[in-house]
Structure 1
Amino acid sequence: MTGNPRWQVIPVKLSQAQFEEFVLPHLSTGRRGPRPALTLHKTFNYILQVLYMGCQWKMLPIERNAKGLPEIHYTRIYRSFRRWQAEGCIDAIFAGSVSRLHDDSLLDLTVVHGDGTTTAAKKGGDNLGYSGHKHLKGDKVVPFCDRHCNVIAPFVSAPGNRNESPLLREALPKLTAMARAIGADLQGAIVSLDGVYDCRANRRAIFNRGMAPNIPENPRGRKTPKRGHKRRFDPAIFEERFRTIERVFAWEDKFRRLLLRFERISEVHYAFKTLAYTMINLRHDC
């Protein structure tokens, strides 16, 4: 996997053909009013440019028309992005990328890796909390990926002061719902997680969905080993997490808009994050 350079190329711009194949079927288009001054393809690429560069909307480098004026005002691009986010188009584009991976037999769901990541919020906003472990105020998400670093489920978001362990029980239904939607079978799959998710409720939730947990036992300050039989744990699969889910987080940092959260509205930030995960999934075709 690491020997193929194509695995490392994350697209930050789509061609016309790629846009019409992967994005346009999931976008809502206006049926009334005058024709837009800019094509949907260019508008979407401007949104990807904001995501990649991390600049403010008003600092977005917009091309000039024949009269030497910007071909579109940045507020119109922002309004298009908010409309697509509110109507569920961004989530539909992500779901379409997962379905495309399954149709092309690029998903390996024998092992599913999951973990949480926290983003600092410097400007405040909603859905935030202070994380004493990270020593920052922000929010966290819990995504899942397969063995080939493909993000396969919509993430679960929460304030930064919430423990990640209960979030897993909120994220698992989204994982199984996505598998059902694309026609994938998760029966017998191994769910590899960090020791922070080690609890009876999480293990039961995984077992009840026909999957097997691979979670190291958390000593929780015990001086002697816990009584009872040892939990099933494969160190090799656990070590694989650092080459999959941690790599996804590193690829996510390529999009500078996600290094710090500057959006006060959490839905806008999560829409950007969903687009970043979509681009990671589209690296096979773009």
Structure 2
Amino acid sequence: MGAFPWIVSDELWERIEPLLPRKERRFRYPGRKPLPDRQVLCGMRAAHGHPVGVPAQGTGFGSGMTCWRRLRDWNEAGVWQRLHEVLLAELNAAGRLDWSRCVVDSSHTQGARRGSHTGPSPGARGRTGSKHHLITDGRGTPLAVILAGGNRNDVTQLLPLLDAVPPIQGRVGRPRRRAVTPYADPGYDHDLFRKQVRARGVVPAIARRGTRRGSGLGVCRWVVERTFVWLRGLRRLRVRWERRADIHQAFLTLACCLITHRQLKSFC
């Protein structure tokens, strides 16, 4: 690997490499030899800690445009989603996913540039931005994350978020997608959506509007707040710099993969 094994560990690379699409070089006029995939992946990983997400020239990661193109191509090929499913399956096989409950919440991120899936957020004094909608298991492991405009009500993303959880393998029997009870704060309080959640075979535990703080559900919901802190630890996600929603979604899913891999390492 060279000088940067600490950015993408051998354990993580062994899981990513089989998922990457292979591109055949032209026999005639092949052009400049492309940078190794692992080296470019190190640039993407370094971009998570960079405020604008572009590696500086001369760092050995290639140009920012090279990292951007690979990120786009791998996202279109479904690499990050499949990697997340692989890591979740390993955690599930080890019995480290808590299926007794899942927790749903959202967090606003300011948008430095306008683009798709942005809008004025009432909770952020009307500033343009996006919302990260996250669902975790009972231990705070991210199961799925979706991007929406800052002006979208949280409850409208509840069902898409539940449906975004992939079938997670790793145990004997049918792959699992649903926890026993989804927990949510009063922002998701709506009887119509409660009925639709029950129609999916789960019983929601959603706090009612007007309920005083410390009523009890927060004992279970704090894990998703901690996961948001982990996401915000990656500076690339504190402000949305991308106009394209799919690129920001790629960064989000990659961040969930890194968090899931870190939890897998802590167990091993």
State the TM bucket, normalised to the shorter chain.
0.7 to 0.9
1:226-282 deviation per Cα after TM superposition (whole angstroms, max 9, x unaligned): xxxxxxxx954432212x100000000111111101111111111101111110100
Match 2:142 to one of 142, 145, 151: 151
Per the alignment, residue 3 of structure 2 pairs with none
The SS at the match of 2:135 is strand
* SS of equivalent residue, structure 1 residue 23: helix
Counterparts of 1:271 and 1:188, CA distance in 2: 25
How far 1:179 sits from its partner (Å)? 4.5
TM-fit CA distance, 1:49: 0.5
- Corresponding residue of 1:68: none
The question of whether the paired residues in 2 share the 8 Å contact of 1:190 and 1:214 is answered with yes
CA distance in 2, matches of 1:58, 1:186: 37
TM-score by length of 1: 0.79
Task: Find out whether 1:40 has 2:46 as its counterpart.
Answer: no
Matched, 1:117 2:107: yes
- C-alpha separation in 2, matches of 1:236 and 1:219: 14
Cα distance 1:187–1:91, how it changes in 2: closer, same or farther (>3 A)? Answer: closer
Q: Distance in 1 between matches of 2:242 and 2:93?
A: 35
Q: Which of 244, 248, 255 does residue 269 from structure 1 map onto?
A: 248
User: Which residue of 2 is the match for residue 4 of structure 1?
Assistant: none
Matches of 2:247 and 2:177, distance apart in 1: 31
On the 8 A contact 2:90/2:170 being kept in 1, the answer is: no
- Per the TM alignment, residue 98 of structure 1 is displaced from its structure 2 partner at its CA by 1.6
State the Cα deviation string for residues 26-67 of structure 1 (Å, max 9, x = none): 21121233584432212111111011223442625523xxxx
- Could you say which residue in structure 2 is the equivalent of 1:214? 205
CA distance in 1, matches of 2:41, 2:164: 26
| Alpha-carbon shift at residue 157 of structure 1 (Å) | 2.3
Structure 1 residue runs without a partner (length 5+): 1-11, 64-70, 221-233
Check if 1:199 corresponds to 2:190. Answer: yes
Distance 1:56 1:171, change over 3 A: closer
| Alignment CA distance shift 1:271-1:151 (3 Å) | same
Aligned AA (1:134): A
Alignment CA distance shift 1:186-1:74 (3 Å): closer
Hey, what's the Cα distance between the residues in 1 that align with 2:65 and 2:178?
47
Taking only the aligned residue pairs, the percentage that are identical comes to 23
Give the partner amino acid of 1:256: R
Change (3 A) 1:58 1:144: closer
Structure 1 residues 160-179: aligned runs within 5 Å: 160-175=150-165, 177-179=166-168
Q: 1:186–1:210: 8 Å Cα contact kept in structure 2? A: no
Q: CA deviation at 1:216?
A: 1.5
- Is 1:14 aligned to residue 8 of structure 2? yes
Q: Which one of the candidate residues 209, 214, 218 is aligned to 1:238?
A: 218
Match status 1:54 vs 2:51: yes
Does the CA contact (< 8 Å) of 2:85 and 2:168 recur in 1?
A: no
Written as runs of structure 1 = structure 2, the 5 A alignment for 1:80-91 is 80-91=70-81
In 2, the alpha carbon distance for the partners of 1:156 and 1:131 equals: 17
Give the direction of change, closer, same or farther, for the CA distance of 1:179–1:37 in structure 2 (3 Å limit): closer
Q: Is the 8 A contact 1:113 1:241 kept in 2?
A: yes
- Structure whose CA Rg is larger: 1
Task: State how many pairs are aligned.
Answer: 252
Partners of 2:47 and 2:9 in 1: how far apart?
17
